[in-house]
Structure 1
Amino acid sequence: MSEVHLLGGEMLGWSDLDGAHGPGPVRGPGLAALLSVASGRTLVVGPHDPRLLDALPSADLTVLVRGLPDAEALADRYADRSGVRVCCGGPEKLAGTPPYETVVALDGLDRLGSVEGAQLSWGETFDLLVSVLRPGGRLLLGAENPLGLHRLLTSPPSADSDWAALGEYDDTRPAGPARLRARLTASGLRIGDAWAVFPSPVAPAALVNTELLADPDLTGFLQAVLGDRAVFGNQAVSGDRAVLGDGEGGTRGPDTGRDGSVPATPLLADPARLAGSAVRNGIAVELAPAWVLLGERLPDPLILADQPAAGTHPGADRTGAVPAAALLVRDGRLREVGRDPVGGWRFADGEAVPSGRTVEDLVVAATLRRDLPAVRALLTTWQSGAEAGMPADAVVVTPAGTWHGLAEPTEPMLALRRLASRLIDAGLADLWPAGELAAMLTTMSGREPGTSADHVAGAAAGGWRELLSDRDRLARELSEARALQDWYERTLTERDDELKRLRRIVSLLHGTPTARAGRLLLAGARTARRTARSAVRRLRPTTDGPTEGCGGQGEGRRES
């Protein structure tokens, strides 16, 4: 095992990498791609997944952790790399060390302090990191949002690592992205880029440039990205034990269920829907669970007038590595989005990022306008094209009328069922006639409804709000059904009572003298009629029989 450099203040029995005392280290392919901006002598502080460290240049790499077990595991992992130096202790021990060209603190500054050392505030720790950054060097800093979606939707359980975290009560900690930018600028750093992190600060599946998030033309694309189940659906949030140690310095994934990762705590609402609403209202940056900022230290902190215009990247003139505007992880695969030199945004493979709105947004808008022909046209076009099996919230319709699917296609009935579920969760079920909404959407889209439309599994409720909404809707439908049943029973009872009254009237009339005389008269008439019929039958053979033969015989007798 390689040597561990003990700086003082190290915690002998503490580990941040095994996930036993907190959410585990920061991790993810998106963060690994972001580390491409690192160059030269590099310092990494805080718990980072070892796979992130593998993406850094190892010619001169220093890693600082506070737990001795983590330091020993990392030293053993990089024993064959002479350029990697593993240190253990508190961040205050960095003062006076030679400056670095790159400082990486993607986990933020809350999990750097040691119980064996000084308890520094956020501002003091930040100033310390800036002091060890040489002029022209770059700082990659992560900062959790105390009012992010992950905090609004659930209450993360307290962890052992929170013993000294002041969070929003730390007066030296900037609140919000604007104040965070101002704090970096005041410290002599030039802001190169800033990314909003979703769905959690620890394991982000989407890192989106704040400038891209502010583009009003990409509302549909951003809603499709942040509403993707790979980003928000059934994802664990900050505070879970999403990464557990494997005993060899590595990590293993969270517990999984039938539908994927199981959140450690119940969600108050569907995070994907709330994220889509934040994008629609232009506050996605403010509600992001965390932010990652890239700053470059100016030669003189007082020279601020030379800051580049928005959209320029300080790393481009040194290493040629321009950070991507968006880093999206789906099924373990990374997809990058960058700025198009001629305008707009493009994926790394050259495909243009579609502008416009999602099919779900257009259907909801047409539903609220009671524009049934528009709803039918959208559903028919959607289900008759190549995007029939893609969710309606993952299909973008551009202003030119072209359709772009941003998800893998599935069974069309699943997509229709998901749309029906999302319309119900949005509180729009009252705008549709009573009945099976999925079957109704299937009929309007031109497909034949059947058992597959009625019984195919839909999207599960994303949180307590959706469950309560479903409960209220079902309770309302049940009360309406009970009221209708009571009306049927009351109507049948009234008609039965009326029938009984009429029968009693008939019975009473049946026993009166007039009724008896009438019955006798009718009986006599029937008897006379039968007698007359019998007489007619007896007389008919004599009057209607042949007479020629009889006359001949009679004449013969008279002659003799």
Structure 2
Amino acid sequence: MTRSILVGGEMLNWSDLHPVDARPAAAGPAAAALLTAALHPGDSVLIAGPHALDLITDVAGRVTSVDVLVRSAPDAEEIAELLVDTKGDVYCGSLDRFRGDERYDVIVALDGLERLVGPDTAKLTWADALARLQERLAPSARLLLGATNSFGVERLIQPGITAALPRDEDWARDVADSAPAGLKPLQAALRDAGLSQTYAVFPSLVEAQVALEAVEGLAAVTAARTVAARNAGTTLMDPYRLVLDAAEAGLAIELAPAWYFVTGDLPAVLPADAVPAGPGVLLEEHLLAALRVDDQATVRRIIPEYVAWLDAGGNGSPDNVILDGTSYRLFGEGQDLDVIAHLARFVRRSMESGSRQPWPAGGDVHAMTARLASMAGITVPEELPASAELVRPLGSAEQLTTVARLSEELAAASARAILFEGTVSGIRRSLPYRVGHAVLNPARVIRRRVRRVLRKVRRR
């Protein structure tokens, strides 16, 4: 029977499972998929640190025995009641007080090592915490470890002022308690532990939607979607485009919000079906790449082909369709929209991203949708839903870029207007213009001369 055992350093009035002003426990589909791939029925497992209750029960249902170590006394009692029919124990306290000779086939620490101690632990460095966990590993055992990136994409996304406010759990601690900063230092520190695979986790350890060994192509799109969904409010940069740009530069893994470090030969994508199988590129990315370099020939070729696919029964907007040569297939579920609405959705997303376009900045959704639809021989009605709505780029950086482009276009238009006005004025003062004007408008010249004579007569 599972029971709760106090080992020292426990936090009596604190919960990592139900936090008030702290981040929740490690969770998410990627975490569940990792456990499914890594655990075997005969394993003895130690779950170290706060993990979501569904992950704990999932582990308990897959292995022979499971022990749990958490620092929160209320959490320990809740977990003990949950695992009442499971072989194993629940330990409550800090890792530095966790003694014993038990060795485990698998140690699960997907939340990282920082929350394995409380404020009563004066100093336990990240390296010391890792060493203590390694001491509890049986020969040929597996360690599943999570780590948060101190300089991930969210440092480039969040506005900053609210994100910088310390939470209740951020009590003052020795700087050495933190994990090594950056992917390469972490990999170097973990090399001796035999950790063979690194996964980039998106959007965070506490809601891990996807874990990827390689962040490129459609995998990058998947990662970008998870980050964008988590950062739907005001941001410094467009989260979706930031992840895709990082992937194109080969920096998506280094800038991932978090990582999993594991041993063994596991799938390259977790969950395994999170990224669509097969080759191809997202249609939206293909069109935006053409627009950025003013390749309107490609746009004029792709749009009719895409519309023909929609007319043939396809049902997906460019952000939900994969282009493979001349064939199209869905990325996820279809969208119940008509052809014009699909094109309008692409226009809105391109404007929200602040992406470079060959047409004047500040255009409206209706005009740009009509431009694209005309390439496929479609006329857009005057009343296009939400077409009059002002669309701004999502990120502050993209907004500033758009403002700069509008200012540049306005300055250029003003310069052309001044030049045109000066040219017209010079033409009107020229002798050929005056002669031609007199020849082409004799009645007006005669009236003007008659009025001039009459004014002279009146003055006399």
Shorter chain as denominator, the TM-score bin is 0.7 to 0.9
**What is the number of equivalent residue pairs in this alignment?**
426
Preserved CA contact (<8 Å) 1:148 1:288: yes
Amino acid at match of 2:253: V
The residue that corresponds to 1:224 in the other structure is 221
Which of 489, 494, 509 is matched with 2:453 structurally? Answer: 509
CA shift in 2, pair 1:190/1:487, >3 Å: closer
The residue that corresponds to 1:181 in the other structure is 187
The residue that corresponds to 1:419 in the other structure is 346
Secondary structure, counterpart of 1:385 in structure 2: helix
- Post-superposition Cα deviations, 1:267-287, rounded to whole Å, max 9, x if no partner, equal 211111111112222221111
The residue that corresponds to 2:71 in the other structure is 66
The yes-or-no answer on 1:406 pairing with 2:331 is yes
CA displacement at 1:353 relative to structure 2: 1.6
The residue that corresponds to 1:455 in the other structure is 387
The yes-or-no answer on 1:336 pairing with 2:273 is yes
The residue that corresponds to 1:390 in the other structure is 316
The residue that corresponds to 2:267 in the other structure is 324
CA displacement at 1:132 relative to structure 2: 0.6
The residue that corresponds to 2:21 in the other structure is 21
Amino acid at match of 1:390: G
CA shift in 2, pair 1:426/1:373, >3 Å: same
CA shift in 2, pair 1:53/1:172, >3 Å: closer
The residue that corresponds to 2:34 in the other structure is 34
| Aligned ranges 1:41-56 → 2 under 5 Å | 41-56=44-59
The residue that corresponds to 2:82 in the other structure is 77
CA displacement at 1:456 relative to structure 2: 7.7
Secondary structure, counterpart of 1:508 in structure 2: helix
CA displacement at 1:443 relative to structure 2: 1.9
CA shift in 2, pair 1:2/1:407, >3 Å: closer
CA shift in 2, pair 1:462/1:83, >3 Å: farther
CA displacement at 1:421 relative to structure 2: 3.8
Whole-angstrom distance in 1 between the partners of 2:386 and 2:10: 61
The residue that corresponds to 1:536 in the other structure is none
Secondary structure, counterpart of 2:120 in structure 1: coil
Secondary structure, counterpart of 1:467 in structure 2: helix
The residue that corresponds to 1:428 in the other structure is 356
| Aligned ranges 1:261-272 → 2 under 5 Å | 266-272=234-240
- Post-superposition Cα deviations, 1:457-484, rounded to whole Å, max 9, x if no partner, equal 7987432223333444555666778889
Whole-angstrom distance in 1 between the partners of 2:288 and 2:82: 53
Preserved CA contact (<8 Å) 2:288 2:355: no
The residue that corresponds to 1:381 in the other structure is 305
Preserved CA contact (<8 Å) 1:359 1:378: no
CA displacement at 1:99 relative to structure 2: 0.9
CA shift in 2, pair 1:376/1:96, >3 Å: same
Whole-angstrom distance in 2 between the partners of 1:66 and 1:171: 16
Secondary structure, counterpart of 2:138 in structure 1: strand
Whole-angstrom distance in 2 between the partners of 1:126 and 1:445: 61
Whole-angstrom distance in 2 between the partners of 1:232 and 1:195: 16
Whole-angstrom distance in 2 between the partners of 1:17 and 1:454: 42
The residue that corresponds to 2:401 in the other structure is 469
- Post-superposition Cα deviations, 1:411-453, rounded to whole Å, max 9, x if no partner, equal 2444423433444434413x22575323212222433222327
CA displacement at 1:388 relative to structure 2: 6.0
Which of 92, 111, 118 is matched with 2:115 structurally? Answer: 111
Preserved CA contact (<8 Å) 1:442 1:453: no
CA displacement at 1:35 relative to structure 2: 0.9
| Aligned ranges 1:293-332 → 2 under 5 Å | 293-295=261-263, 313=265, 323-328=266-271
CA displacement at 1:95 relative to structure 2: 3.7
CA displacement at 1:66 relative to structure 2: 0.8
Secondary structure, counterpart of 2:112 in structure 1: coil
- Post-superposition Cα deviations, 1:193-233, rounded to whole Å, max 9, x if no partner, equal 3211012232122211x2x43xxxxx4312432333xx123
- Post-superposition Cα deviations, 1:116-171, rounded to whole Å, max 9, x if no partner, equal 234211101011111111111110000111121122222334212122566xx539
Structure 1 alignment gaps of length 5 or more: 214-218, 237-261, 297-312, 314-322, 329-334, 338-346, 515-560
Whole-angstrom distance in 2 between the partners of 1:175 and 1:371: 42
RMSD: 3.7
Which of 228, 231, 235 is matched with 1:233 structurally? Answer: 228
The yes-or-no answer on 1:280 pairing with 2:248 is yes
Amino acid at match of 2:135: S
The residue that corresponds to 1:305 in the other structure is none
CA displacement at 1:487 relative to structure 2: 9.7
Preserved CA contact (<8 Å) 1:421 1:458: no
Amino acid at match of 1:72: E
CA shift in 2, pair 1:86/1:381, >3 Å: same
Structure 2 alignment gaps of length 5 or more: 427-433, 438-443
- Post-superposition Cα deviations, 1:26-76, rounded to whole Å, max 9, x if no partner, equal 111221121111241111111111011111035411111111121122223
CA shift in 2, pair 1:286/1:446, >3 Å: farther
